[in-house]
Amino acid sequence: MSIFSKSFILGVFIYAPLVFSQPQSDKLDTVKLWAEKAQQQCFMKIHFDTFAYQDCLVLMAKEEVGNKPRELGIYYFAYVGAMDAVRTGMYGSYNTAWYFLQRFRKIQRTLGIDDRSLCTTVPGNCDIRLSQIEQMRKMPQPAPIDTDGGTPKEKQTH
């Protein structure tokens, strides 16, 4: 076994407990902080272009790959923001919400965070939000839509 392999294995045994033993409250604090950062950095984009909003958040999450609580905060806020746009009828918002639902749920399961605790990381009515999540979770993937920046008649623009 090479020195690199031994160092890697030793590192896994030393650092893995630190990652996996992070208290739930610390994880939720990190999720909340990064949800707030996602809101500050990207939310204003959804009012003009759902796809720019999605791109902003995907890029932000890519910069945090490997830090699951940060990724969860970004993706969870992304979902909540997209659902806000669904209520106003913004073109593409349902597809964007569905996209982010798939991403945050996967990370949420990995971290073992329950729905109610996760919901508290972003202000709003958790009873309504959890119902919306459950309803959307059961739905099939929405049909792709035009994202080329054109303005079809049915697009809502501001």
Indicate the average pLDDT of the chain: 86
Distance CA 115, CA 112 (A): 10
Q: Do the domain assignments include residue 64?
A: yes
| 55-64 pLDDT, tens digit each | 999 999 999 9
Q: pTM for this one? A: 0.79
Q: Do the domain assignments include residue 91?
A: yes
Domain that holds residue 51: 24-137
Tell me what pLDDT residue 35 has. Answer: 98
Q: Do the domain assignments include residue 123?
A: yes
Residue 149 — very low, low, confident or very high, per pLDDT cuts 50/70/90? low
- Using the predicted structure, report yes or no on whether residue 6 has a pLDDT greater than 60: no
Tell me what pLDDT residue 4 has. Answer: 43
**CA 143 from centre of chain:** 20
Number of domains in the chain: 1
- Using the predicted structure, report yes or no on whether residue 12 has a pLDDT greater than 60: no
Tell me what pLDDT residue 24 has. Answer: 86
Q: Do the domain assignments include residue 11?
A: no
Q: Do the domain assignments include residue 18?
A: no
Residue 1 — very low, low, confident or very high, per pLDDT cuts 50/70/90? low
Tell me what pLDDT residue 150 has. Answer: 52
Q: Do the domain assignments include residue 12?
A: no
33-42, 78-87, 107-116, 145-154: segment of lowest average pLDDT: 145-154
Q: Do the domain assignments include residue 129?
A: yes
Written as six digits, the tokens of 10 are 């030793």
| 17-50 pLDDT, tens digit each | 444 556 788 999 999 999 999 999 999 999 889 9
Residue ranges in 43-125 assigned as alpha helix (H): 50-62, 68-88, 93-111, 115-119
Which residue's entry shows tokens 């919400």? 97
Q: Do the domain assignments include residue 149?
A: no
